[in-house]
Amino acid sequence: MVNLRSHTTRLGVLDIGSNTIHMLIVDAAPALALTPRPAPNPQCA
């Protein structure tokens, strides 16, 4: 069995808009679909 965990890369994308900021974290591996990681969504008051 191949350990795909050793061949994955964690990517982060930060989208800064005029009113919002979004961050997406993705685990990527060759020849596999991107799998977004669940992240907390803090609300700014």
Per-residue model confidence as pLDDT tens digits over 1-45? 455 555 778 888 888 989 988 888 877 777 776 666 666 666 654
Predicted model pTM: 0.46
pLDDT at 10: 82
pLDDT at 44: 53
pLDDT at 30: 76
Sheet holding 9-16, edge to edge: 9-16, 21-28, 35-36
Q: Kindly report the number of other CB atoms within 10 A of residue 26's CB atom.
A: 15
Would you say residue 11 lies in a domain?
A: yes
pLDDT at 16: 92
Would you say residue 41 lies in a domain?
A: no
Identity at 45, one-letter amino acid code:
A
Count structural domains, the chain: 1
Residue 33's Cβ-side half-sphere holds a number of Cα atoms within 13 Å equal to: 3
pLDDT at 3: 57
Would you say residue 43 lies in a domain?
A: no
**Domain hosting residue 13, numbered range:** 4-36
How many whole angstroms separate alpha carbon 40 and alpha carbon 27?
A: 16
